[in-house]
Amino acid sequence: MTHLTCGPELGVCYYPEQWPEEKWAEDAARMVALGLTWVRIAEFAWAKIEPKPGQFDWAWLDRAVETLGSAGLKVILCTPTAAPPKWLVDLFPEILPVAEDGTVRKFGARRHYCFSSLRYREEAARITGEVARRYGKHPHVRAWQTDNEYGDHDTIHSYSHSAEAAFRLWLESRYGTIEALNAAWGTSFWSMTYQGFDQIELPNNLVEEPSPTHRVDFMRFSSDQVKSFNKAQVEIIRALSPGRPVTHNYMNQNTDFDHYAVGEDLDAASWDVYPLGGLVHGRLSDADKARYLRVGDPDQTSFNHDLYRAVGRGRLWVMEQQPGPVNWAANNPAPADGMVRLWTWLAYAHGCELMSYFRWRQAPFAQEQFHAALLHPDSTADQAYHEVAQVVTETSALPAIGPRAKTRVALLLDYSSRWATVTLPQGQNYRAHHIALDWYSAVRRLGVDLDVIGQHSDLAGYDLILAPDLVIVDPTFIERLQAVGTKVLFGPRSGSKTEAMQTPANLAPGELARFLDMKVTRVESLPDYHAESVQMGNLTLTARRWRETIETREQVLATFIGDYRNGTPALIGNNSARYLATLPEPEALRAIMTDTLNWAGVPHMPDLGDLRLTRRNGLTFAFNYGVATAEVPAPATAIFHIGTRLLEPAGVAVWSE
């Protein structure tokens, strides 16, 4: 049965252990009065739950769950493993993670554990079992979150003795023999040959860079450690709390582990949405960052919604939504008034079921004192509180709709390929996550919706797949792609490395030669101050940072022009596939994407500028990221449910046709 909704369910993150108990009932009543129905608790409460080894204090948490639940709130209970208590660290200091430079990362913040520590895995399973056993069938506990923000603070890759021992076992399982490993890693280079798996060390603190295969294998291993760590908790929760969905809250722009793989064990994927921090640390030029200072990158948040909808196999939640200025970025501007409302409807348009705001009340102590919330520290309402109330009111104006449908265009994100480019960037200004977002943004500015997929995803039904950085190609992906006949645009570096991080025998694009009669004979990474010119029809386009020389018998659709190798192909293709050999600037990329959408028969609009459109099951949502009022491209017959044809800055309009 399809679940119909008129808007996302709304919730908030709450920390009863941080507030006097006499406030709990008042807070719960205010949450319900505001229109919230969910509350997330206890992700950092281990020291409060178990103040001493084996001595549990459940009374406070029992009362908190009962107070919140009896007020009408559904509780999302978290496993508290992201913040092991001091007594545990003192008992077992080997659980601490080790940084790449060999420094042991100490107690005093959070995420201070190593995924490879067998002792910590035992303790994490133990506390998960204790919490799930006590609350697994509690009527007020309606969902679970495992741990908190895997990957935060660069904690996926630990260089501990435990990690080294586990890595050796992982390698032996992967390769079988040391001879096979030596061949894959190319250890004849620089006299790096190993005689046994027990000789292998972790790829840190070397005089030079490690073998690229050594480093990518360590990334694969580290990702597998996250998956197995998470799966252990999920299995305990499922056994003790049947019927409740389990999620994990992923992060923005973190590809240190394979999110798809971890998502296989979850019921829904959630992520923590902080658009302004994402802008400050993101892909845009300083001029564009200044322009979007209080609204965020118009496409970064949407990209992540689409990614995590894929990770959750259609089920997307937001566990933490930025409500105001934060504390952790290089700079921390405030959102424009109206943006919390916009971000809420943006999430819903992209398929979000549950929107949870971080947090209920701003903390007057500890590390996040500057991190805004729905309430000020004195419990008076902040701006986001009023915007949430507006969302609640607007929900009643929308018709009920089902989950977001599949789109006609998909963008491919492959984690092994990302690890390959981190290991062998070739240029300091080559950033695969920026490039993929540039491609996504170019299509979104043309009014086209996208899905994000992996090589494992169902490919049927797509008219076009965009693969901006598919460095390592899975042969089964090629077979499935050929079977469905979807058109595909590949970006530079596609197919340029085998699974063992070696150059294909037939040169790049390796496996993609099944689609394209071509080979890459030279690659260049270029400084930002240099520009390449590309001629496509009567358009002269600008590209930067990367250029490839290719030999081909395919149709040449665009060429490089200039003093160096004038007239060599920049874009080639046939009826089923195309290959782009450079990184165009935004305006040039939009021209190429316009031509690509036409080639694939995908309808699109002229450049929307600062407007973004998203469609969900008969409704069109419009969002204005600009500084001026804009007219939305709605047909004359449109019925507006929210907003009007003229959309103010930070405004939202929703219509049906």
Residues acting as catalytic residues: 149, 320
- Give 525's contacts (C-beta < 8 A, 6+ positions apart): 425, 426, 427, 429, 430, 545, 546
CA dihedral 463, 469, 472, 475 (to 10 degrees): 10
How far apart (Å, rounded) are the C-alpha atoms in residues 524 and 507?
A: 15
The answer to whether the beta carbons of residues 399 and 6 sit under 8 Å apart is yes
Rounded to a whole number of angstroms, the distance between the first and last alpha carbons of the chain is 25
- Cβ-based burial of 615 (10 A; exposed 0-12, middle 13-18, buried ≥19): middle
Give residues with Cβ within 8 angstroms of 373, minimum separation 6. 323, 324, 357, 358, 359, 360, 361, 362, 363, 382, 384
How far is the C-alpha of 569 from the C-alpha of 552, rounded, in Å?
8
Give me the amino acid identity at 364. Answer: P
Contact indicator for 536, 592 with CB cutoff of 8 Å: yes
Helix/strand/coil percent split, the chain, to 5: 35, 20, 45
Q: Name the residue among 221, 73, 227 with its Cα closest to residue 141.
A: 73
Pick from 447, 423, 474, 399: nearest CA to 609: 447
Q: Which residues pair with 281 in a beta bridge?
A: none
The rounded distance, in Å, linking the Cα atoms of 283 and 433 is 9
List 613's β-bridge partners, or say none: 622
Q: At what angle do helices 339-349 and 300-311 cross, to 10 degrees?
A: 40
HSE-CB of 521 using CA atoms within 13 angstroms: 8
CA–CA distance, 18 with 566 (Å, rounded to integer): 66
Cα 577 to Cα 6, 330, 408, 486: the distances in Å are: 40, 41, 16, 9
| Site of tokens 């491919």 | 412
Q: Which position has the token pair 């960052």?
A: 289
Q: 569: which DSSP letter? A: E
Residues 6+ apart with CB under 8 A from 374: 12, 34, 323, 357, 359, 360, 361, 381, 382, 384, 385, 388
Element (H, E) at 39: strand 38-41
Q: Say how many C-beta atoms besides its own lie within 10 A of residue 575's C-beta.
A: 9
Distance, in Å, from the CA atom of 387 to the CA atom of 579, rounded to the nearest integer, reads 45
Residue closest to 130 by CA, chosen among 58, 193, 188: 58
Nearest to 248 by CA among 64, 121, 81: 81
